[in-house]
Amino acid sequence: MGKNGLPVIEPPLVEPARRWLKGKRYPWITLLGVDGSGKSTVLAELERALAATAYTGLFVLHRRPQLVFRAATASREGSIEHYGKAPHGRFLSALKLVVIWLDWLVGYFVLVRGRRAQGVLVVADRHSLLDMLVDPLRYRYGGSPRWVEIAIRLLPMPDVVVLLDAPTAVLQSRKQELSAAQTGQLRQNYRQLVQAHPAGYVVDASQSLEQVVADVQHIVVKSWA
């Protein structure tokens, strides 16, 4: 209220600017999962579900921002040709890691930070650095996992990590690029990663799409509460 008892009407960008200055930003999340877990489908439905929340929109980054070097990104989902190739040597792996790290550093301040202050839910559909810990062959990464861990510690990372998981047989029925043994190993790796995160959640992706979206939405709302 103003001094005269009337409500103060502020321009629409005042509150986002105030949150920016105070460092108060909406959390951002990463959505992980083996191919076939339904990440893309869930994200398509999540934007509609967010209309009933405090978020003002949805912005999705696929694997990484791709601002520094587009060609360094992994192959698109459903076309995982890197699994049939040998990993890079230590030098090329280190170079690729540096490029991806720089991409996330630049991408956070250019694409993520401002949107968080405006109330937009930012989602990393896979996070390439987290993926490199779990599934290095997807990026033909042949360096030490320790290097990736150090890179992660030197970046602003998502506040919440959500894993869409389902029984191996269910995932295999949706995607057949990997063997059942490979899929099972990746599931185990992802679960270990998420369980070690202070705000890590596992969502049963074998449920109906409506229930999976509802579970993810609950996590998103809870993370801001």
**With respect to CATH, is domain 36-224 assigned 3.40.50.2000?**
no
SS3 state of residue 179 = coil
pLDDT of residue 19: 47
> What are the structure tokens assigned to 85, written together?
């190739």
pLDDT of residue 22: 41
pLDDT mean for each 10 residues of the chain (225 residues): 42 46 71 92 87 81 85 46 76 94 95 91 93 91 94 95 96 88 94 94 96 93 78
pLDDT of residue 9: 41
pTM over 0.85? The answer is no
pLDDT of residue 66: 87
Cα separation of 35 and 165, whole Å?
10
Q: Produce one character per residue of 63-77: b if its CB has 16 or more CB atoms within 10 Å, e if not.
A: bbbbebeeebbbeeb
Domain edges within the chain: 36-224
Cα separation of 15 and 12, whole Å?
7
The CA-based angle 133-135-140, given to 5 degrees, is 100
